[in-house]
Chain A
C-alpha cells in the first residue's frame, strides 16, 4: 500500500508556505508517497488554484479541523506528517498532531519568529526544516530536497 503524508498548513499569510507545500508534494510523489493537504479554506484554495490540473498536489485535501477529528477517532493516519509552523498556532497543531499520529513528524518553520519557534519544535519532534523566510522559498526548497535522504528510513 502506498505511503501517505499529511501536509498541515497554517494561516496562509506568508507566501513561502504555499510554494514550499506544492514543491514538497511534488517531491513526495516522486518518492511514491501520496500527499494529503490539510488547512483552512484559504490555505487549501491557494494550492488548488495554483495547480488546476493537479500536476503537483496530486492527492487529497481536507479541512484541518476535520483532519484533527479523523486522527482523534483513529479513522485516518499518515506515514509522515509535515506541519507548517510560523506562529504559536502552528506549534499547537504540531504538538497535537504529534500526540494523535503514529507517523514520522516533520516541522517546517518559517516567518519572522522562525528562530524562537524552531527551539519549541525541537522539543516536540526530531526533524525540523527551518529558515527565517517570508517571500523567498529557496532556503526551504533546499532543505526539502535533503528530506529524500531520510524519507524512507
Chain B
C-alpha cells in the first residue's frame, strides 16, 4: 500500500514553498526537535528532504516538511498519536 499523509488530520502551516523554508519554520517554532536522515519512516511515510530533516514536537502534535513533486514543500502539523513516544525513544537527544 502506498504511504499517504493525505489520510491524516493535518493542518497546513506553509504551502507550496521550499524545503528550506519549511525546515526553518519547524526549527523556529518547536522547542523539541529531532533530526533524521532521508528515508526515516513516520506516519507510514518515508521522509524526503535535504539532510538533516527536522521533526518538531509541539504539544501533542508533530511538525514535518512534506514534499509533493508537482506542488512543492508543505509544513504540516499532524496529531502525534503514538508516534511522539516512538520518536522520543528512537531519537534520544
What secondary structure prevails in chain A residues at the interface with B? helix
**Interface size class of chain B, counting residues whose CB lies under 8 Å from the partner chain:** 20 to 34
* CB pair B39 A93 closer than 8 Å: no
Chain B residues 4 to 41 lying within 8 A of chain A, measured CB to CB, are 18-20, 37-41
Of A21-29, A46-54, A64-72, the segment with at least 4 beta carbons within 8 Å of chain B is A64-72
Interface 1/0s, chain A 89-100, versus B by CB < 8 A?
A: 111110110011
Cα–Cα distance between A143 and B45 once the two chains are bound (Å): 35
Besides A71-B39, A95-B38, 20 other A-B contacts (C-beta < 8 A): A13-B70, A43-B69, A64-B69, A65-B3, A68-B38, A68-B46, A69-B41, A69-B46, A72-B40, A88-B20, A88-B72, A89-B67, A92-B50, A92-B73, A95-B50, A95-B51, A96-B49, A96-B50, A99-B37, A99-B39
